[in-house]
Amino acid sequence: MKQWTTIFPNDTLRFIDDTQSDILPYQSFAIDDSLIETIEHSKPTVRLWRHHPYVILGIADTKLPYLTEALTYLEQAGYKTVVRNSGGLAVVADEGVLSVSLILPEAKTTSINEGYEKMVAFVRELLKPWTKDIKAFEVVGSYCPGDYDLSINGQKFAGISQRRVKNGLSVQIYLALTPDHQSRAKLIQTFYQIGKKNDATRFTYPDVEPRTMESLSTLIGETIDVSHMVKRMKHLLSMHFTLEEDNLTEKEQAILIKREQQMIDRNKKALGPFF
């Protein structure tokens, strides 16, 4: 695409860093929704977040024939679960995984592919000090595979999804920064093996091969943790934009209450006692 800075239509960006917050994953998705819903009357927003060990499920994952057994396995392995409101399948969140949301207006004039391309361009610029070898294609054997998986030498370290509300758009990415990413992949591999067994299913679930995935730190041969990446992102953005670090407005807070309840209701219905 064009110069990466054209992703953002304004010279001023909101920058929300929730990486040190104790909010839960369902609240993170609700926050994004409140920002998307009001983005036409706000500024383009970059939001960062991470969580303690969680497996974030897609809606299709809740249709696994042996879901209860699979959720029990995750619980015993020390992972809580939540069902997100954006596309995709199961992914792992923990202290070494940074999630980034680019929240933008004009969703109705931005195609699905254009939304993905915006994030790809941003991440390539973000990681330029370490690598210029990032490729975007589906990494078969990875968890939550998609056409815009980000990989180096064929090993996936990041996945992208989108969420659209009214005329707002959130392009969300997880960046697996620190090892051991193959252990994360093994966790999801076992989750599907238990949840599906050999049954025929309506949805196609990935046959996860852990060797197809790796952490960014391992791939570039240098340790990059979440705090390091947050600093890099702030530096990059502040070179080109005026950053406003603030909290949600009163209107966004009011919408957040509604969106949180929707997430709670969805998860209680889908996960029952596991939520």
Residues forming the active site: 144
Q: Say how many C-beta atoms besides its own lie within 10 A of residue 121's C-beta.
A: 18
Please tell me whether residue 64 adopts helix, strand or coil conformation.
coil
| Tokens 């949180």, located at residue | 260
| Tokens 């609700």, located at residue | 30
Question: What's the gap between Cα 57 and its chain centre?
Answer: 11
Residue by residue, DSSP assigns 78-133 as T-EEEE-SSSS--EEE-TTEEEEEEEES-GGGS-HHHHHHHHHHHHHHHTTTT-S-
Q: Which of 168, 176, 169, 167 is nearest to 117 (CA)?
A: 169
